[in-house]
Chain A
């Protein structure tokens, strides 16, 4: 945990905005990723939970953005937030690959005013940070986050329009198309961090169905100098994939423990607010990948 104790409470409330730093996993689970025909619907479960992919903790409330194969914006339909999960539908009318994405950008933190520690309000961004911290505040501590969580769904043959990088946060560039995965085959993805190849990123892949087995079967991988990582899928099914520049913190080191830090952690993007900022930006990428049987 990178956050100090008072922040943990706040982060727990704002679980959807800080998935990577918490034990809970945020996920989008589509009903299908590979479709034939010309007029299909895909329904998606969106939740935050420990076990994959069981909705038993919190819904992922944000309304995602849909990008259609031709690059235009698509529509989220029938969005509904339940106690444990949100669901929504996407109507597929084009041939090719769709992207459904939830991007959370924010700043967490605290400051002292008149001897009292105050939390930054939820929903604070780098743009509103200056306003959020009142004049006279001291001991300002902030931690930025840029969490991208997206899934891909293909009707007909896979296409590449939706993978055009924006240069912000962590992004996936396919070497292997994420809707063309088969058990026993190696798939390669490239990850970009702010538009540049993200070297030495920590990549975690966990197969779904974790409730019904003892071992997590987590695969821990690193990207190479080109930001590429190769994953060989041991079995068919849905996989949760998470990428972050930050080394996984070993439990028990305690809050704020030094420990080994990844090269990316501690570096702050240009233009971020100065001051006493002990934390690196918390950037993460999450996707759900369907691996088919051979």
Chain B
């Protein structure tokens, strides 16, 4: 787990008013395959994970980028995760507690988010889309969208990317 979860501050950011609090510890388990690419120059992709709900402000869950670059220089290329940047990122300040994380290597990357902690809001029942977008330096960019209904109990979904992302799978339970 490379995501920094720093308790209260993060919870303040995470608990958006657009996702009103509901009882129960909802847990999102997310698995993202980052493909191993045979290219001359490889850089681990910048990845953003966010939730969309109809007529609600999109909510960023996690962003992987060069967090440790001097002088916050890693933020310069966040705009290349272009749909996320337009949808949510450009209104945020970086590093963002509970959201910012280092880039991850090719392979299956796991992420567990618990509602009310870090960037994970408590979800009210409704129609959602989980979105994962990856942009790679000197490489391509791809977005995978997984729509789902949240009934308050359980939801899951899988979609596969074709270039910059492999299979993205999630389960959401309370």
Contact = CB atoms under 8 A, between A and B. Distances in A.
A35 B89 CA distance: 11
Contact of B79 (A34, A158, A182, A293): A34
Contacts of B76: 35-37, 40
A221 B89 CA distance: 33
Contacts of A37: 72-73, 75-76, 78, 94
Contacts of B78: 36-37
B82 A38 contact: no
Interface in B86-110: 86, 89-91, 94
Looking at chain A's contact residues, the main secondary structure is: loop
Contacts, number: 38
Interface string B73-85: 1011111001101
A231 interface: no
B20 interface: no
B72 A38 contact: yes
Interface residues of B, number: 16
A39 B142 CA distance: 27
A39 B71 contact: yes
A294 B78 CA distance: 16
B86 A35 contact: no
A123 interface: no
A157 B91 contact: yes
A38 B75 contact: yes
A163 B4 CA distance: 39
Q: Which of A154, A157, A158, A182 has the most CB of B within 10 A?
A: A157
Interface of A: 34-40, 154, 156-158, 180, 182, 292-294
Which 9 A-B pairs rank lowest in CB-CB distance, beginning with the nearest?
Answer: A36-B78, A37-B75, A36-B79, A37-B76, A157-B90, A157-B91, A34-B79, A36-B75, A156-B90
